[in-house]
């Protein structure tokens, strides 16, 4: 898949332009966007990239992070070596389907695709056991 097509697909899926740039090497200005995506991208431009600590400090997000990483690692062959963006988007879509099935009043919003990317990047850049220990520790603490 060309970088141009992949960038459009990622923007449509909700990945922030900053992360699309990291993933594809294309800035928002270089991407030939359809009109329906342009408005969505404008709202994402100012978004900050979440950190692992941001994700793990929010109640229930740590357990969601564990579930998402399980889905992702089941799909991605070499998740510890690189972020497989296509498998990550597929795992994220599976995660959202499951989240919506069990959604109850009072639950926080689901993880964002940006947060999913941060988790995948963290899995790639750190020891898998260390990451899992951080997530389990956050779940146990109630975060």
More confident residue, 58 or 42: 58
Give per-residue pLDDT as tens, 44-83. Answer: 555 678 899 988 887 688 889 988 998 998 999 888 788 8
Give per-residue pLDDT as tens, 92-130. Answer: 999 999 888 876 656 678 899 999 999 999 988 776 677
Of the candidates 132, 133, 139, 91, the one whose C-alpha atom is nearest the C-alpha of residue 115 is 91
Measured distance CA(68)–CA(40) in Å, rounded: 24
- Apex CA 74: angle with CA 111 and CA 86, to 5°? 65
Of the candidates 116, 121, 126, the one whose C-alpha atom is nearest the C-alpha of residue 61 is 116
Decide if pLDDT at 4 tops 70. yes
User: DSSP assignment, residue 31?
Assistant: S
Q: In this predicted structure, what is the pLDDT of residue 31?
A: 81
Do residues 16 and 44 touch, judged by C-beta distance below 8 A?
yes
Decide if pLDDT at 39 tops 70. no
């Amino acid at each position: 898949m060309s970088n141009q097509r992949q960038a459009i697909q990622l923007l449509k899926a909700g990945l922030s332009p900053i992360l699309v740039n990291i993933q594809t090497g294309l800035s928002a200005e270089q991407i030939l966007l359809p009109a329906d995506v342009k408005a969505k991208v404008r709202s994402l431009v100012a978004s900050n990239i979440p950190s692992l600590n941001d994700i793990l400090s929010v109640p229930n997000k740590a357990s969601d992070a564990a579930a998402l990483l399980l889905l992702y690692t089941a799909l991605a062959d070499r998740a510890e070596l690189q972020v497989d963006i296509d498998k990550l988007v597929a795992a994220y879509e599976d995660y959202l389907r499951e989240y919506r099935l069990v959604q109850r009043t009072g639950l926080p919003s689901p993880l964002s695709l940006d947060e999913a990317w941060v988790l995948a990047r963290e899995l790639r850049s750190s020891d898998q056991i260390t990451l899992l220990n951080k997530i389990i520790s956050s779940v146990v603490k109630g975060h």
